[in-house]
Amino acid sequence: MYDMKALYQAESVQDAVALRLKHPEAQIIAGGSDVLVQMREGKRAGAELISVYGLDALRGVSLEADGTLRIGSLTSFSHITRDPLIQKYVNVLGEAVDQVGGPQIRNIGTIGGNTCNGVTSADSASTLFAYDATVELTGQDGVRRVPIQEFYIRAGKVDIRAGELQTAILISRESYEHTFGHYIKYAMRSAMDIATLGTSVNVRLSDDKKYVERARVAFGVAGPIPLRAETAEKTAAGARLSAELAEAFGAAVREDIHPRDSWRAARDFRMHIAVESAKRAFAEAVRLAGGEL
């Protein structure tokens, strides 16, 4: 038995909003792979829960009329990885979430839970930052859209207001079009382990595939919340492809990241793998885009 005070099961998004307003102390539970584990550990003992797990309307990936990619917040990791739209437009996201935990965790864990927990090591987060994703929240007054960089406030704290729940993650066409990306999860084990560092890079090359039109890089665990390394992005923008460029791109991430010491890894080591991962992920993204270094 879980030590919960009460469970309210939302029947629809509107019902979830009503339940949120009626029980302001209650916590949302989606797949529960964070919430139930914390409850088992005693951290949320006695809490009231609002389950949104039954809201099938929030599952699945679709394209909106203007080409925006819409990922329902309850879509599980395994369904994201298998989704044809994800594979076509942001394959790197499917690859990133295919590195979460193990197969059973990828069947229960949702992308909504992975972003609402505000955790820097979340395997989806760096790629969503690197694609300038938008978070859609639904509340009493309808829908509110927040850039993912603003959605994260501090470690463990995201911008969800009274009565709201996250209903989708959106990636605009401008952001994903003609891009190729690569994610590197650095962890001590190849399964069932949390990232020591997560690095997500995506690039768009010029038509002749000799120049970088746009490059983006974001990290998890390089700071208290996921972050972009803009100095590296500027280094690559408009530059001619070369092996030196990959080196310079990697080296430049030092300007923007602030890893810390933890029991998982020392600060200097995280810095080292950040430089190396940025370089390798950049090289792989360029290769996928058909370019040569």
Ligand X SMILES: Cc1cc2nc3c(=O)[nH]c(=O)nc-3n(C[C@H](O)[C@H](O)[C@H](O)COP(=O)(O)OP(=O)(O)OC[C@H]3O[C@@H](n4cnc5c(N)ncnc54)[C@H](O)[C@@H]3O)c2cc1C
Is residue 63 near other proteins by the rule CB under 8 A? no
Which candidate, 232, 205, 234, places its Cα nearest to that of 292? 205
End-to-end CA distance of the chain: 56
Question: Candidates 130-138, 190-198, 210-218, 238-246 — which segment interacts with other proteins by CB under 8 A?
Answer: 190-198
Is residue 237 near ligand X by the rule CB under 6 A? no
Which of 191, 243 has the CB closer to other proteins?
A: 191
Question: Candidates 78-86, 109-117, 230-238, 243-251 — which segment interacts with ligand X by CB under 6 A?
Answer: 109-117
Site string for ligand X, 47-76 (x = CB under 6 A): -----x--------------------x---
> Applying CB under 8 A, what is the total number of residues that bind other proteins?
30
Is residue 181 near ligand X by the rule CB under 6 A? no
CA–CA separation, 154 vs 226, rounded Å? 10
Site string for ligand X, 140-179 (x = CB under 6 A): --------------------x----xx-------------
Hey, how many other C-beta atoms are within 10 angstroms of the C-beta on 34? Answer: 18
Is residue 27 near ligand X by the rule CB under 6 A? yes
CA–CA separation, 166 vs 150, rounded Å? 14
Is residue 81 near ligand X by the rule CB under 6 A? no
Residues in touch with other proteins (CB under 8 A): 1-7, 9, 29, 32-33, 36-37, 40-41, 48, 51, 53-54, 78, 101-105, 107-108, 190-192
